[in-house]
């Protein structure tokens, strides 16, 4: 009888252990939707912030009077985004996504000047004029295009921490500044607040 009970007890323990310790669904690498918060979270900027910000800014900017009521497509120079938070990150991920989405969805209603390629552009122009490479004279301009507007972005952050957890509030703002008058003709913002609570062993 004792042997039966002990065996039964051991069996129940084994089953419980086997089910309790069953490996949860794990992964090494997998593709996920960048527009959704993933399993790996941080209080800093995340991919869904990039996607949501770009989506919001594109719609807002294309609906603005600067673009919708302009007779000619305005030329825009994208400036580096300023990071005024406590997180160090590549700000270019925001500007790259935003500029590409604007170019894609604007259908020619605005144009960006490629200031990041200025050295290559100048070298090509010189090579053309020196006869080193062929080109269409009809396409010739006195100089490279200037920007009617600067598109400038920044993110400001406010972090708090206490024994109860941490929170981070971030305000992302982009504005369109007339490069002649300096007047800000359009601006919009996207803000997000995240909270996290680390386990007590880390506090």
- Contact residues: another protein, CB under 8 A: 1-2, 5-6, 9-10, 13, 16-17, 20-21, 24, 40-44, 82-89, 91, 159-161, 163, 166, 196-203
Cβ-based nearer residue to another protein, 125 or 194:
194
Cβ-based nearer residue to another protein, 20 or 131:
20
C-alpha closest to that of 186 among 116, 102, 115, 91: 102
Tokens representing 13 are 């323990």
Q: Considering the complex, what minimum distance in angstroms separates the CB of residue 154 from another protein?
A: 9
Surface-to-core class of residue 93, CB atoms within 10 Å of its CB (0-12 exposed, 13-18 middle, 19+ buried) = middle
Looking at the chain, which runs of residues are DSSP E strands? 75-78, 82-84, 111-112, 149-162, 165-178, 184-196
Cβ-based nearer residue to another protein, 1 or 130:
1
Q: Considering the complex, what minimum distance in angstroms separates the CB of residue 146 from another protein?
A: 23
Q: Considering the complex, what minimum distance in angstroms separates the CB of residue 121 from another protein?
A: 24
φ/ψ bin of 108: left (φ > 0), alpha (ψ from -120 to 50), beta (otherwise): left
CB atoms within 10 A of CB 90: 11
Cβ-based nearer residue to another protein, 43 or 61:
43
Q: Considering the complex, what minimum distance in angstroms separates the CB of residue 69 from another protein?
A: 34
Q: Considering the complex, what minimum distance in angstroms separates the CB of residue 176 from another protein?
A: 21
Give the separation between CA 129 and CA 78, rounded to whole angstroms: 28
DSSP category for residue 180: T
Cβ-based nearer residue to another protein, 53 or 67:
53
Give the separation between CA 191 and CA 91, rounded to whole angstroms: 16
């Amino acid at each position: 009888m004792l042997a039966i009970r002990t065996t039964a007890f051991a069996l129940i323990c084994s089953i419980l252990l086997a089910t309790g310790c069953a490996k949860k669904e794990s992964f090494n690498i997998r593709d996920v939707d960048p527009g959704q918060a993933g399993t790996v979270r941080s209080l800093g900027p995340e991919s869904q912030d990039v996607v949501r910000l770009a989506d919001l800014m594109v719609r807002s900017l294309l609906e603005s009077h600067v673009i919708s009521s302009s007779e000619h497509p305005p030329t825009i120079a994208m400036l580096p985004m300023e990071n005024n938070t406590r997180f160090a990150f590549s700000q270019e991920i925001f500007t790259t996504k935003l500029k590409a989405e604007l170019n894609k969805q604007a259908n020619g209603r605005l144009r960006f000047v490629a200031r990041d390629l200025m050295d290559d552009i100048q070298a090509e122009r010189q090579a053309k004029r020196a006869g080193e490479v062929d080109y269409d004279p009809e396409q010739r301009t006195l100089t490279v295009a200037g920007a009617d507007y600067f598109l400038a972005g920044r993110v400001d952050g406010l972090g708090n921490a206490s024994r109860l957890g941490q929170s981070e509030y971030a305000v992302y703002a982009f504005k369109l500044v007339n490069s002649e008058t300096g007047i800000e003709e359009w601006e919009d913002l996207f803000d997000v607040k995240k909270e996290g609570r680390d386990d007590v062993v880390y506090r």
